[in-house]
């Protein structure tokens, strides 16, 4: 039992709620909404996977992801 529990990540209620909202926006094709929410939450939680997902959603929304990624890197330096 303890080995299985170690493999399970505990996610806050806020994190679960945000994940559902991002997924709902993505399934509705609301890429910019999903990207903005994922980006804000990634900044708050320092989640690199979520940051990558936000960039992917920005790309789907038609944004210049290369410019956004450069801005993100320079703003964190």
- Name which of 4-8, 34-38, 63-67 the model is least confident about: 4-8
pLDDT for 65 equals 86
Residue 35: CB atoms within 10 A of its CB come to 25
3-state secondary structure the chain: CHHHHHHCCCCCHHHHHHHHHHHHHHHCCCHHHHHHHHHHHHHHHCCHHHHHHHHHHHHHCCCCHHHHHHHHHHHHC
* pLDDT tens, position by position, 51-67: 999 999 999 999 998 88
């Amino acid at each position: 039992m303890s080995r299985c529990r170690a493999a399970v990540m505990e996610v806050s209620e806020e994190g679960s709620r945000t994940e559902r909202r991002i997924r709902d926006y993505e399934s509705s094709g609301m890429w910019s909404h999903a990207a903005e929410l994922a980006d804000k939450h990634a900044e708050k939680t320092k989640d690199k996977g979520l940051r990558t997902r936000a960039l992917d959603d920005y790309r789907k929304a038609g944004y210049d992801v290369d410019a956004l990624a450069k801005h993100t890197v320079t703003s964190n330096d």
